[in-house]
Amino acid sequence: MKTLYKFGASWCSPCQAMDPLLAEIDQLNVVKVDIEQEPEKAQAFGVRSVPTLIIVDENENPLAVRAGGINRHQLQQLIRSVS
């Protein structure tokens, strides 16, 4: 199963606003990564801003990247792009 990483931070309002949308996803494994608690993971994926969504395959190879806030329609498009 593919995984969607949401890189964010506790102080990031757009990151928190996306959480209800991410809770609706059932076709991907959703993992939230706080860049302040796991900076090495953010660095490994080249995350430079929050929020950043990265969809990876089973081998952690990035399939899609989206930086910045996202609405439901944009999230659905991102997921379809890797289906």
> Which residue numbers are catalytic?
12, 15
Q: What are phi and psi of 16, to 5 degrees?
A: -70, -35
Choose among 10, 12, 18, 26: nearest CA to 75. Answer: 18
Q: What kind and span of H or E run contains 53?
A: strand 52-56
What's at 72, amino acid-wise?
R
